[in-house]
Each structure stands twice: as C-alpha cells, then as structure tokens.
Amino acid sequence: MKKSVLFWLPAAAISAVAPAYAGQYATADEAAKRAFPEATTFKESVFQLSAEQLSAVAATTGLPAKPALWRSLTAMNGDKSLGLVVFDGVIGKYELIDYAVGIGVDGKIRNVEILAYRESHGYEVRLPAWRRQFVGKDKSDKLRVSEDIASISGATMSATHITDGVRRIVAVVDQMRVAGKL
Amino acid sequence: MHPKQKPIKYNARVFATTIAVGLALGMTATAASAQSNESQLLSKLEQLANELEKVKAELKSMKAKQDAAPVAVALVAPVASSAPTASSDTVLSAYGELNYTRPRGDSSGTQTDLARFVIGYQHRFDTKTKVVAELEVEHAVTSADDSGEVAVEQVFVEHKLNDTFGARAGLFLIPLGLINQNHEPHTFYGVNRPAVETSIIPSTLREAGIQVFGEHDNGISWSTGITTGFDLTKWDPLNGESVESPLRTLHQEGQFARSKDLSLFAAADWRGIPGLRIGAGFTTGKAGHGTAGFLAPDARTTIADVHARWTPGAWDLSAVYARGTISGAGAFNQSFAGAPYLVPKSFDGYYAQGAYRLRLSGDYVMSPFTRIERINIGKSFDGVDPSLNATSYRTETIWTTGLNFNIAPTVVLKADYQKYKIVKDSDRINLGLGFSF
C-alpha cells in the first residue's frame, strides 16, 4: 500500500500545479507593450553600427561587439519617441536564448523579456524576479553577473550570457543616441 | 510537393510510352523496310533513352532540393532576432579534469590523474524534442591492466509538452544535492567534489528511467520519476570501496540493470529570490530484486538531501545535508561473519561552504573559498550486536581551503589544502585544471 501511494505521487504533483501555470514566454509584441504600456504605436526599425561605434561598444562592455543588424521596435506616443525594444539572441550553455530589452529615451532599462529558452536546465532566467534586477539600470551600471546582477545556481552560463547581452544592447543603444539616430 | 515535379513525372511516362510504341511499331514493320528503319529506330531509341536519363537526373536533383528545404527553414526559424547569433541543431560539449594530489604524510603517494574526460552532444530534433548524451572516460586509460572506466554518463530524450511541463526518458542524472546535475569543474570549488556529494550522494548518480518535470514562474521547479534502483546483492563485505561510499558499488547505471524493484525519485527547488536556491530531493526503492536465497529480500535504499545556495553579489555561499539509509539488511550483515565491511543502516553528512569571487581584469576571476564537511559513512548497522554499534564509524571532519582561478569563464585552475580531523594521513595538497564547453 505504501508503495502504491509513492508511485501515485508524480501524477498528484502534476495535477496539483497543472492548471495554475501555462506558457510564460513573451511574444515580441508583448515584450514591447510591457516595456512601454503608454505607447500608442510601435515602429519597426533595423539599424547597424559603424566600425567606430562597434569599437566603442567593445571598449565600454569588455565584450566583442556583434557586427549585426539590430531589429527593434520604436515606441511612440503620438509623435513622441518613448524609447525602443531591441531583439537579440545569445547562446546560453548550448542553445540559443531569444530575448528583448526595452530601453527608454533616458537610457534606462524598462524590461528584459525572454522570448524563447531551450536549455534543459536554467529556465530560471525567465523568472520575473531575476529579470527585474535589470530594471532602472543604465550604462553607468556594471551590468555583470555576480556584481550587480545575482547569478543563478545551476544556470550560471545562461545568466551570464544574457547579462552580457543586455550590457551590450545598452551600449549599442547609447551609441545610437549619441549619433542622434533615436 | 514541388509544383514542377508532376509535369516531369508525366514527361517520363510519355517517354516510356513512346519507347514502347516505338518498339511495337518496329516489330510490326515489313521485313523489307525493317533493315533500313532498324538503324534509325535504334538511334532514336538511344536518343530517347538518353533524354530519359537526363529527366531522371533532373528529377532526382529537384527531389534532393525539396528534401533540403525544410531543414534550412528549421535552422532559421527559431532565431527571433536579426542579430547573427549562430545556433545549430547539434551541439558538441566536453569537459575535463586533471588533478595532482600530494598527501601531507607520505609523499610517495603523490599522483597525477586525468580524473575525467567527457565528450557529449545535444541534438535537437525539433523545437520540443532533443537528445542529450555524455560519454565519460575516468582515469585516462581503460584496458585489462588499467583501472580506468568508460561509461555513458547520461543519454536521454527530452520532450517539452509546453513552456512549463516536459518529460525525459533514458539514462539521466538523479536530481540530488548541488553537484550531481551540475558537476563540470568550473561549477564547484576545490579540486575534488565535496565528500558529502561523493560518499553520501554517489555523484555522478544516474539511472535509467522516465521522469516528468515542471518549471514555474513562481520560481519552483520540480521533477519526479521512476528509475532503476540499487542492487544490494552486489555488496562486497571485503571491498573497502563498499564502505567509502556505501551506495557507489550498488548503483546500476544502465548496465543490465536489475529492474524487478524500481526506485522513485522526486526533487524540488525554489529560486524565487535572485541569487537564492533552496531545494530538496530523495530517491527510494527496494534493492533485493527477488533474488532467491538473498538474506535481505525487502531491503530498501534511500537517499535524501536538502540544499541551499545563496550568491549575493560576489559571495557564493552553499550548504548541503544528505542522508542515506539501507534498511532490512540485518540478516545479510549477520552472514558476513568476520568480514570487515558491513552494510550500514544509516550514513549522512553535511557541508557549508563560502567563496568570494574577485573579478580581476578581463575574464580573470579569483575565488578564495573554504568548506567544512562532517561526514559519517556508517552511523548505525542492522543485525549487529548493539554493543558493537558503539564502534560505528566516527564522524570525520574535513576542512578544504583554497582558491579557484578562472582564466576564462569555464576554464579553471585550482589549488587547495584538505585537512582531516581523524584520518590525518588523508591531509593533502591538491592542484587541478578543469575546462568545459
């Protein structure tokens, strides 16, 4: 009898929590709306940094700059630009993590949203509590794991690579602002 | 289907029909004209055959292109970003540990060991299904004259049902403690894994089975499943290894694993506060497997643990308590008459560890740490005269102090000193090199 109780535990555990939680990943549109709820429209834009700007990003972040075309959504309220949401992907431990970073015109991070996480371990990077650590930070912050961003036990690589990615995006957006392109 | 495929097939049929008609015409032709027309027909036939071959080749190449098309789409599809980050369906991984140990008492016991070299891969079949595999070589060489070991450390298929729930089946790591599932050299401090997580939890503990798991937004993650368990009939009362880690010689690891008795495991972690992880787990199951004449037919083995890790800023603090029991082995123990190593009824240990990650320039990180462990691999025994239980093993205290020096995030040089309170001969200096990717 005792054994049969033990063997039913898995089913009980699933049925207890199953109805309470469903999919938790944000879509690109949701990520944008969460960053800028006051926005009336979002304009799609693609931008690329010059060689000088890439060097500046590498110098500021201590990371190799991605010579990438960055995809973003600019949040507008009427004619006024509120900031933008930049979409990116980094490798966690083995697999690609898709994420988005919302940054206001003041350069401060509005949100970090995980769009897709595929690793077997380390899903915790998508937890709101962990992502909230980035909110309000800007280029004057370190934005480094084990310094101003707490690591995640069992998901160090994912936490580190997302944090590095966010630091890079903050620097990239800053370059765009300096160039008067935002 | 490719839109151009059908007409090509049709053309092939037309050509074949033409050949048949041509042959028929050839056969019914008059004998007089036969000889003159024969050469013309043959040359036409040859021409037709050549064209047919061309069409076949074209069809084959189009089919190949068509088959390749969905793969190309699948590779591109998961990339939501326009940033050119590489991602492949198949990813190679590896880790290795080279250790140097010099005992403080008897320096003749100094040795260098390529403790582990592991290569693995992960292959994603689609967005929901993948296989994860690791093949391990321990102690560098395996042959009839060497004591190395080649083993499959894990190979399992994972299928996600949705963003929250999934299932795994195969040979997988049992979720106990902090090390068993995350054991690459850069993830732990010191050259050797903590004694609690090698002697009480015999990491890397893996068994074959099935499991379901869940990962929730409130920070709770859990997994539970049914696996092959331990086999107590393998206990050797003359083998010291049996007692260094009571369950290490009993695990089955997917090799002709006796499966009449299965084990149940369950584990849960909470990471609701950034940097904090609190969790617990257990695995339990009978270990006699209905063996005829076995003196512990109802023996049950259980390991349970509670663990916590907190990483505020540059600090890395962790603690684990683990306890194992083997019940119902009294008569089995009594049969050993005079043999040195009995089956313990209970064994346990804990450790507390503190490390500080000092980031130097670039990726260089130096982490001094210290760890205290108290461990008892035989607290009590079934089937032994109670007066003898007074001689149960004593609790050993081990201090490990040293530093990890990361020259890259996952490449680490290690140095530490281990001090034993009871078995002082075990005091030693360890140096190590580890990497993983």
Q: Which of B75, B79, B81 to mutate to test the interface with A (most CBs of A within 10 A)?
A: B81
**Under DSSP, is residue B277 helix (H, G, I), strand (E, B) or coil?**
strand
Nearest to B224 by CA among A6, A83, A115: A6
**Can you name the residues that pair with A118 across neighbouring β-strands?**
none
Which amino acid belongs to residue B96? Answer: G
**DSSP letter (8 states) at residue B293:** T
Exposed, middle or buried: residue B391 (CB in 10 Å: 0-12, 13-18, 19+)? exposed
Supply the ipTM of this predicted assembly. Answer: 0.78
Kindly identify which residue of chain A lies nearest to residue B128, measuring between CA atoms: A118
pLDDT at residue B86 in the model = 53
Nearest to B95 by CA among B142, B154, B24: B154
Checking if the pLDDT of B12 tops 50, the result is: no
Q: Tell me how long chain B is.
A: 437
User: B209: which 2 tokens?
Assistant: 């089975």
| Cβ A175 vs Cβ A66: under 8 Å | no
For residue B287, the Cα-to-chain-centroid distance in whole angstroms is: 23
**DSSP letter (8 states) at residue B198:** I
Residue A25 binned pLDDT confidence (cut-offs 50, 70, 90): confident
Nearest to B100 by CA among B114, B111, B91: B111
Report which of residues B396 and B58 the model is more confident about. B396
CB contact under 8 A, A154 and B181: yes
Q: What is the mean pLDDT of residues B11-39?
A: 48
**Can you name the residues that pair with B131 across neighbouring β-strands?**
B123, B157
pTM for the whole structure: 0.79
| Cβ B244 vs Cβ B199: under 8 Å | yes
* Alpha carbon distances (Å) from B169 to A66, B135, B154, B155: 38, 17, 11, 9
| Residues in CB range of B434: below 8 A, 6 or more apart | B95, B96, B97, B98, B184, B185, B186, B411, B412, B414
**Under DSSP, is residue A45 helix (H, G, I), strand (E, B) or coil?**
strand
Q: Which of B82, B134, B210, B276 to mutate to test the interface with A (most CBs of A within 10 A)?
A: B82
Checking if the pLDDT of B8 tops 70, the result is: no
Q: Determine the Cα–Cα distance for residues B75 and B90; give it in Å rounded to an integer.
A: 11
Q: Determine the Cα–Cα distance for residues B268 and B283; give it in Å rounded to an integer.
A: 12
Taking the Cβ of residue A120 and every Cβ of chain B, the question of whether any pair is shorter than 8 Å is answered with yes
CB contact under 8 A, A24 and B212: no
How does pLDDT run across B219-272, given as a tens digit for each residue?
Answer: 999 999 999 999 999 999 988 887 788 998 899 999 999 999 999 999 999 999
Count CA atoms closer than 13 A to B345's CA, side-chain side: 15
Chain B residues with CB under 8 Å of A69 CB are 82-84
pLDDT at residue B231 in the model = 96
Residue B36 binned pLDDT confidence (cut-offs 50, 70, 90): low
CB contact under 8 A, A6 and B273: no
26-85 in A: which are within 8 Å (CB) of B?
A: 28, 46, 62, 66, 68-71
Query: What does residue B23 show for φ and ψ, rounded to 5 degrees?
Result: -65, -45
pLDDT at residue A1 in the model = 42
Neighbouring C-beta atoms of residue A13, cutoff 10 Å: 17
Q: What angle do CA B315, A119, B158 make, to 5 degrees?
A: 130
Q: Determine the Cα–Cα distance for residues B389 and B381; give it in Å rounded to an integer.
A: 7
**DSSP letter (8 states) at residue B57:** H
Q: What is the mean pLDDT of residues A35-58?
A: 93
Chain A residues with CB under 8 Å of B87 CB are 89, 91, 95-96
Checking if the pLDDT of A14 tops 80, the result is: no
| Residues in CB range of A30: below 8 A, 6 or more apart | A113
Which amino acid belongs to residue A66? Answer: K
How does pLDDT run across B279-302, given as a tens digit for each residue?
Answer: 999 999 999 999 999 999 999 999
Residue B389 binned pLDDT confidence (cut-offs 50, 70, 90): low
DSSP B328-372: S-HHHHHTTTT-S-PPEEEEEEEEEEEEE-EE-STT-EEEEEEEE
Q: Determine the Cα–Cα distance for residues B383 and B375; give it in Å rounded to an integer.
A: 23
User: B114: which 2 tokens?
Assistant: 């390529």
* Alpha carbon distances (Å) from B187 to B190, B194, B327, B436: 10, 12, 34, 10
Q: Determine the Cα–Cα distance for residues B70 and B76; give it in Å rounded to an integer.
A: 10
pLDDT at residue A68 in the model = 80
Q: Name residue, tokens 């972040």.
A: A61
H or E segment to which residue B319 belongs: strand B315-327
Q: Determine the Cα–Cα distance for residues B278 and B291; give it in Å rounded to an integer.
A: 39
Which amino acid belongs to residue B3? Answer: P
Chain A residues with CB under 8 Å of B318 CB are 153
CA distance B422 to chain A (A): 33
Chain B residues with CB under 8 Å of A25 CB are 163
